[in-house]
């Protein structure tokens, strides 16, 4: 058995011949084979086929541009009253836009101030929870203050017991203090 051989037809000078077909079929076949072209893979292309890379054509120098209309947004006309009205209307629109922008800016500033306030409160709470907020000196001062207040009260233990008995009698009625 003979081994199959591959024939390279790409470099041959032979043409495909459409014999025995109608002229209409021949024209369809030629059109088809001329339209079929193998495109290189996307990776090997220098230019993507789906992106328009050409710049827009510049306008011709014949058309003149009314720069005042472009700057103000108001078309220039010969009617002075209409021009004045349009200028005032455009100015009022811009003032309204400015007011809205200022309102948003003010609200933003308020939000930022509120965030700073909350941040400071959170930092203070975190310091307290870590034990850094309570200084040893402040604790000692509070202890000394409470000791000095206790020293100002000059009651004997007997006096304190008598006050306690009076309180219990007033609160719970007269009962025997020794009964349980």
How confident is the model over 95-132, as pLDDT tens digits?
999 999 999 999 999 999 999 999 999 998 888 887 66
Does 76 fall in a domain? yes
126/148 same-domain check: no
Does 179 fall in a domain? no
Containing structural domain, residue 139: 135-170
Does 31 fall in a domain? no
124/149 same-domain check: no
Q: Which residues neighbour 35 within 8 Å (Cβ) at sequence distance 6 or greater?
A: none
119/78 same-domain check: yes
pLDDT greater than 70 at residue 162: yes
Does 34 fall in a domain? no
pLDDT greater than 70 at residue 50: no
Q: How many domains does one find in the chain?
A: 2
Highest mean pLDDT among 8-12, 28-32, 91-95, 163-167: 91-95
Q: How many helices (H) and strands (E) does the chain have?
A: 5, 0
Q: What is the largest CA-CA distance in the chain?
A: 139
Two tokens, residue 6: 């591959």
The confidence score (pLDDT) of residue 29 equals 83
As a whole number, mean pLDDT of residues 67-75 equals 57
The confidence score (pLDDT) of residue 52 equals 63
117/91 same-domain check: yes
Is residue 73 within 8 Å of residue 88, measured between CB atoms? no
- Closest to 83 (Cα-Cα) out of 64, 96, 91, 94: 91
The confidence score (pLDDT) of residue 113 equals 95
100/124 same-domain check: yes
DSSP 8-state code for residue 56: P
How confident is the model over 7-29, as pLDDT tens digits?
555 665 666 666 778 889 888 88
pLDDT greater than 80 at residue 166: yes
pLDDT greater than 80 at residue 80: yes
Dihedral (Cα; 154, 155, 157, 160), 10-degree rounding:
-150
């Amino acid at each position: 058995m003979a081994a199959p051989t591959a024939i390279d037809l790409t470099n041959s000078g032979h043409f495909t011949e459409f014999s025995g077909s109608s002229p209409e079929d021949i024209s369809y076949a030629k059109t088809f084979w001329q339209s079929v072209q193998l495109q290189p893979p996307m990776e090997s292309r220098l230019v993507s086929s789906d992106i328009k890379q050409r710049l827009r054509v510049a306008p011709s120098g014949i058309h003149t541009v009314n720069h005042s209309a472009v700057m103000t947004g108001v078309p220039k006309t010969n009617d002075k009253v209409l021009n004045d009205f349009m200028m005032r209307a455009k100015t009022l629109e811009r003032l309204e836009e400015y007011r809205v922008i200022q309102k948003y800016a003010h609200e933003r500033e308020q939000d930022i101030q509120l965030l700073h306030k909350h941040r400071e409160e959170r930092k203070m709470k975190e310091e307290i929870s870590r034990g850094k907020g309570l200084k040893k000196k402040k604790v000692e001062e509070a202890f000394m203050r409470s000791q000095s207040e206790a020293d100002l009260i000059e009651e004997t233990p007997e006096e304190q017991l008598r006050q306690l008995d009076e309180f219990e009698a007033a609160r719970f009625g007269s009962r025997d203090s020794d009964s349980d």
